[in-house]
Structure 1
Amino acid sequence: MKPTLLFDLDGVIVDNTPYQARAFQLLFRDLGLTTNARKLLARLNGMPATNILKTVFRHPVPAKQLKDYAGQREFLYRTLYWSKRRAMPGLVAFLEAARAAGFKIGLGTGSPPETISYILDHLDLRRYFDVVIGKDDIARGKPHADTFSVGAARLGARPEDCVVFEDAVLGEQAAYKAGMRCVAVASTLPAKAFQNPLTVIKDFTGFTPKRLLELLEQQPTAPKPDKQRAQRQYMQL
């Protein structure tokens, strides 16, 4: 059985996390908040923006207000990243090789359609993905399993045959909760931040489908999710 590949978007398809962090920081400055955005994303990256924003206030904030803040952050991010959009080094070569090898390929992210299009369509990457799962396709975002479970179901793949590519700790936990194995992309976090990935890559340069198959033989089953690790990501705020 050939593996099915499921890719996260931010920090995996593109190396955009520093721009995401900068956008959050500018929003926090405007709101009079002192939260460190880089440290915040190191813990909560992978969650929908409204969920991330909910954690930085000491008082309840109405859902509509959180959505407005998320929209402001999205505008700031797109402005900052507009001329910087580039595919992760080696990504296109790997996707082309994987498709040539007959792998099914999907994308799973907590982002809304317009944010997905901002990356995939601008960089002409959508053609490499058999399915694209976004915020509107799932009930619960990462670290819940929904993003990857829905992607696998739409691809007609069993969880044990799926490999997730993730740059976030909560995304890795979502993969394990879905019963899938994971390749960690250390675009923003150190290798030691991840629990038990197949391997840790900085980007896709030199990474091949053959190497992936070798790694799968070395780890025949998906690790169990580390509930304490996922919970700590929320608590250390």
Structure 2
Amino acid sequence: MLPDTPAKALIFDMDGTIVDNMRFHDDAWERWYGGHGLPFERATFSAQTAGMAIPDIIGPHFPGADVAELDRLAEEKESVYRETYRPHVAALTGLVGLLDRARSHDVPMAVGTAAAPPNIALILDTLALRERFTTIVSPSQGYRGKPHPDMFLAAAERMGVAPGDCIVFEDAPNGVEAARRAGMRAVAILTMLDAGAFAGFDNVVASVKDFAALDGHPALRFG
């Protein structure tokens, strides 16, 4: 049973959480899969793969590819995503208000995302949010993608906070599972899936459409 205590640190996934952009990723993936003559199940793809490192997603399709080739294949997809999403970058409703509230309580914040550095830059720099976060953790730094807990544990360590004192914001089951393995509470952000997708997780303390819905929510308190 995870503690019902005030949060001492917040960790945010990025895609589908800080921004509502997963349909743009799906569009890019559908184009990429089609271009390589591979079947694409759009209805289930994001729920199954969101939060994973891209080499883990595409690697099984190219078992003989080395790291450089996998990076090249990944960039094919990512460049399409950035081109199409760039004009639409917008923070999820209520995000900035929550960041302001956490900062007023001296609560450190981090980002734990499977996104590549150029994708992180697209979101955090376009929205001028990078300086809000104590640290940003991603597989590009050598960490395994979700559902492994590595990125969230690294974020907690960098912030100097125990895992059980962190609350993670996630839109995907892989991310909520990573939080569970890290011993962290999670808030499910319902930009991609409905609340039923997270019903089996005992670490989910709230399921909300956006951050504005967390105003005054008992699961999100600061000491």
State the TM-score, normalizing by the size of structure 1: 0.84
Could you say which residue in structure 1 is the equivalent of 2:65?
62
Match of 1:48 among 47, 53, 56: 53
Give the root-mean-square deviation of aligned CA atoms. 1.7
* Residue 77 of structure 2 is aligned to residue 73 of structure 1: yes
Q: Deviations over 1:41-78 (max 9, x none)?
A: 111111012211234x2x62413332211100000001
Following superposition, the deviation at residue 104 of structure 1 comes to 1.2
Q: Deviations over 1:95-130 (max 9, x none)?
A: 111111221111111222222111100111112211
Contact 1:105 1:128 in 2 (8 A): yes
Contact 1:7 1:166 in 2 (8 A): yes
Match of 2:130 among 119, 126, 132: 126
Contact 1:138 1:147 in 2 (8 A): no
**In 2: Cα distance, 1:20 partner to 1:149 partner:** 26
- Deviates further, 146-155 or 24-33: 24-33
Alignment of 1:98-117 (within 5 A): 98-117=102-121
Structure 1 residues 86 and 116, CA gap change in structure 2 (3 angstroms): same
Point out where structure 2 has 5 or more consecutive residues left out of the alignment: 1-5
Q: Deviations over 1:179-204 (max 9, x none)?
A: 11100111101111112310101111
* Residue 202 of structure 2 is aligned to residue 207 of structure 1: no
Could you say which residue in structure 2 is the equivalent of 1:36?
41
Match of 1:16 among 10, 17, 21: 21
* Residue 208 of structure 2 is aligned to residue 198 of structure 1: no
Partner SS state of residue 18, structure 2: coil
Contact 1:138 1:150 in 2 (8 A): no
Overall identity of the aligned pairs, in %: 36
Point out where structure 1 has 5 or more consecutive residues left out of the alignment: 218-237
Following superposition, the deviation at residue 169 of structure 1 comes to 0.4
Following superposition, the deviation at residue 37 of structure 1 comes to 3.5
Partner SS state of residue 62, structure 1: coil
Match of 1:183 among 187, 205, 222: 187
Match of 1:147 among 128, 147, 151: 151
Following superposition, the deviation at residue 38 of structure 1 comes to 4.2
**In 1: Cα distance, 2:165 partner to 2:101 partner:** 18
Could you say which residue in structure 2 is the equivalent of 1:92?
96
Q: In structure 1, what residue type is equivalent to 2:184?
A: M
Higher RCO (CA-CA < 8 Å; seq separation 6+): 2
**In 2: Cα distance, 1:165 partner to 1:51 partner:** 22
Match of 1:163 among 147, 167, 181: 167
State the TM-score, normalizing by the size of structure 2: 0.89
